[in-house]
């Protein structure tokens, strides 16, 4: 009986610790939106830390001087990219909105061509063909309204510049102190926390920071490379006269989808190529497939080296983490979800390696 009590006390303690960790991560996910500037600063500090160490080692500069130099260069590059991207986005969004009637007519014509294609529809049941014909106008209007509303929301978001500047100021100041006073903050933690806590905390922070930093650098690099390849390719298509009206907006949307696990850019580009080919523009359809192939080759070469070896998490679990984050805090949670999953993996790596339930209920654990 005593043995049973000891066993169940151990099991309940493990379950309680695991549940407490999940609760703390949930609270952290909620608080992350409230303290967004500081979270952004922490993420940026992880991303530029290797560069700061490289500058310190190469030029024998102090941490403060190296941090200021790297932050200044990073901010300059960020402003240049954001300025160019915002200007291009506004131009293409305005052009798309001003020509919405024209695109509606083109979309309707495309649907008419598809629904009147006997070869395509002959194998469909009669009920399905009737449903497609009756809902054609509603589908087109819904799709067009969705595009218009989305672009208006993007423009509305960009008009919130004062609030964004306010957040940027706090994020910049937090980034400065996190980079320049990193040693001081670690010393303060060592001063206020017990040694036993500090040893465990230092170990976990080091491993988690390394994993998150590597993951973020790898993902941002891959997404940026995919975006640039897509943007250059679509711009060349437009330059040679192919029917690509908005290369920047299209490349931006494809890059966003490309960031999602499992789906990738093919979820957008393959249907796009098929639709263009069915609509008679076979050259553009083939060009899109070729561009997708180039992007796929580059990602398949770089991704195993840059991502998999750093986190070792299956894409399905990453997708679940993104969806969970989205349901809890919105779109921003799609970024935070995988990060919290990495934290959970690092905290409970021995349990995961042995097996979660085996670790919780095994008497020898």
Q: Which of 312, 329, 348 marks a domain boundary?
A: 312
Looking at the structure, tell me whether residues 177 and 66 fall in a common domain. Answer: yes
Distance, CA of 10 to CA of 190 (rounded, Å):
30
Report yes or no on 175 lying in a domain.
Answer: yes
Q: Would you say residue 3 lies in a domain?
A: yes
Mark whether 174 and 223 lie in a shared domain: no
97 alpha-carbon distance from chain centroid:
27
pLDDT in tens, 258-309: 776 556 788 888 888 888 888 888 999 999 999 999 988 887 777 666 655 5
Q: Which two tokens mark 59?
A: 């030029």
Q: For residue 250, count CB atoms less than 10 angstroms from its CB and return exposed for 0-12, middle for 13-18, buried for 19 or more.
A: buried
* In a shared domain, residues 73 and 110: yes
Range of the domain at 328: 1-34+321-365
Last residue of a domain, one of 268, 292, 312: 312
Say if CB 176 and CB 64 are below 8 A apart. no
| Same domain membership, residue 134 and residue 151 | yes
**Residue 190 belongs to a domain:** no
Does 279 share its domain with 332?
A: no
Is residue 177 domain-shared with residue 286, that is, in the same domain?
Answer: no
Of 344, 68, 338, give the one whose Cα is nearest residue 214.
338
| 136 and 63 share one domain | yes
- Considering the domain architecture, whether residues 216 and 296 belong to the same structural domain is answered as yes
- CA distances (Å), origin 341, targets 16, 19, 24, 289: 19, 14, 13, 34
Establish if 188 belongs to a structural domain. no
Which pLDDT score, from 0 to 100, does residue 1 have? 44
- 263 assigned to some structural domain: yes
Neighbours of 172 (CB within 10 A): 15
| 44, 175 Cβ separation under 8 angstroms | yes
Predicted confidence (pLDDT) per residue in 215-244, tens digit: 777 778 888 888 899 999 999 998 998 888
Token pair in block for residue 58 = 């190469």
Are residues 255 and 328 located together in one domain of the fold?
no
10-17: long-range contacts (C-beta < 8 A, 24 or more apart)? 10/363, 10/365, 11/360, 11/361, 14/359, 14/360, 14/365, 15/360
Does the residue 203 lie in any domain? no
- Comparing 143-147, 167-171, 266-270, the range with the smallest average pLDDT is 143-147
Q: Is the pTM of this model over 0.75?
A: no
My answer on whether 39 and 103 are in the same domain is: yes
**Residue 194 placed within a domain:** no
The number of domains in the chain is 3
Alpha carbon 77 to chain centroid distance?
20
């Amino acid at each position: 009986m005593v043995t049973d009590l000891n066993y169940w006390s151990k099991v309940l303690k493990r379950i309680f610790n695991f549940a407490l960790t999940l609760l703390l991560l949930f609270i952290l996910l909620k608080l992350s939106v409230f303290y967004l500037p500081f979270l952004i600063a922490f993420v940026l500090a992880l991303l530029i830390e290797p560069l700061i160490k490289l500058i310190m080692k190469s030029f024998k500069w102090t941490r403060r001087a190296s941090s200021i130099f790297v932050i200044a260069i990073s901010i300059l590059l960020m402003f240049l990219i954001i300025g160019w991207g915002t200007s291009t986005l506004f131009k293409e969004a305005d052009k798309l909105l001003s020509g919405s009637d024209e695109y509606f007519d083109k979309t309707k014509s495309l649907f008419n061509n598809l629904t009147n294609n006997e070869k395509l529809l002959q194998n469909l049941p009669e009920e399905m063909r009737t449903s497609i014909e009756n809902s054609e106008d509603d589908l087109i209007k819904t799709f067009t309204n969705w595009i218009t509303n989305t672009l208006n929301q993007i423009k509305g978001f960009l008009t919130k510049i004062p609030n964004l500047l306010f957040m940027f100021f706090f994020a910049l100041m937090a980034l400065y102190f996190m980079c320049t006073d990193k040693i001081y903050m670690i010393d303060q933690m060592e001063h206020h926390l017990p040694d036993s806590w500090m040893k465990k905390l230092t170990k976990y922070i080091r491993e988690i920071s390394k994993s998150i930093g590597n993951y973020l650098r790898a993902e941002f690099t891959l997404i940026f490379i995919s975006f640039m390849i897509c943007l250059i390719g679509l711009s060349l298509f437009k330059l040679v006269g192919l029917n690509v009206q908005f290369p920047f907006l299209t490349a931006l949307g494809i890059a966003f989808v490309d960031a999602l696990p499992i789906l990738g850019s093919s979820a957008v580009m393959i249907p796009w190529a098929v639709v263009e080919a069915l609509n008679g523009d076979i050259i553009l359809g083939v060009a899109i497939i070729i561009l997708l192939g180039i992007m796929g080759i580059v990602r398949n070469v770089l991704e195993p080296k840059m991502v998999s070896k750093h986190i070792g998490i299956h894409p399905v679990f990453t997708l679940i983490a993104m969806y969970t984050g989205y349901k809890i805090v919105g779109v921003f949670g799609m970024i935070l979800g995988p990060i919290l999953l990495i934290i959970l993996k690092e905290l409970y790596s021995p349990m995961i390696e042995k097996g979660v339930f085996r670790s919780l209920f095994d008497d020898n654990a």
